[in-house]
Amino acid sequence: MAHRLSIGSWITLAHPAIAEIMSKAGFDWLAVDMEHSVITIREAEELIRVIDLAGVVPFVRLTSNHPDQIKRVMDAGAHGIIVPMVNSAADARRAVDAVRYPPDGKRGVGLARAQGYGASFQKYLKWQKENISIIVQIEHINAVDHLKEIFGVKGVTGYMIGPYDLSGSMGIPGRFDHPDFLAATEKVKAAAQKMNIAGGIHIIEPDPKQLEQRIKEGYTFIAYSLDIRMLDSSCRAGLDCVKGLKK
């Protein structure tokens, strides 16, 4: 994962058509966002199903790093989790333990969609050992001070920089061109590359030039915008073209 370019996006709207449209657009993965949306666990399962059946990797960005929610989204068929506000090795280890079955973790065994409703538990048990991704979000300056410990937790497969929260924790919210913010992101990227951890960042606005730039910078796990920003941006761009013509 660390060396293969993977581009996904974010889903915050619960309608399955959104997931289907975005799945067919060509993304490698899609993340169902349960942190900053009103998506329920029932709706998350339906979105995971649509994404999965379309041949795209379904992730869930968690509400918080809690084993109960992790267990439920994994049983629903998520191929991995994106864990918010991981600031220490203990935070990372808690997420890994909740995803992995014993002896690698502490996840309780259930029979749901992921396990073929009980018909293919042994197959899933083998599959999950090699195919589940655990992405930690680096979105606080405290995490930047503990990168080696966080990335050193066995089972962590990648990271995602949360630009708004990271810049906010530094007292410069939204100032992504600030020298201190740029230095922090470079520190994260350098540490991850040294430890062979997939490097990720979320590009909020649907800007192809920024996507190209991030790829050139060496990021390999990139979230390209999100459903609501792509919808809003497209609407506004279309209307901007006719503003001068309206009387």
Q: What is the 3-state secondary structure (H, E, C) of the chain?
A: CCCCCEEEEEECCCCHHHHHHHHHCCCCEEEEECCCCCCCHHHHHHHHHHHHHCCCEEEEECCCCCHHHHHHHHHCCCCEEEECCCCCHHHHHHHHHHHCCCCCCCCCCCCCCCCHHHCCHHHHHHHHHHHCEEEEEECCHHHHCCHHHHHCCCCCCEEEECHHHHHHHCCCCCCCCCHHHHHHHHHHHHHHHHCCCECEEEECCCCHHHHHHHHHCCCCEEEEEEHHHHHHHHHHHHHHCCHHHCC
Residue 4 pLDDT class (50, 70, 90 cuts) = confident
Res 20: pLDDT: 98
pLDDT at 247 over 60: no
Looking at residues 220-241, what average pLDDT do you find?
A: 94
Q: What mean pLDDT, rounded, does the chain reach?
A: 95
- Write the CATH number of the domain with boundaries 6-245: 3.20.20.60
Is 3 in the active site?
no
User: What are 135-185's pLDDT values in tens digits?
Assistant: 999 999 999 999 999 999 999 999 999 989 999 999 999 999 999 999 999
pLDDT at 204 over 80: yes
Res 2: pLDDT: 54
Catalytic entry in 36, 66, 79, 140? 36
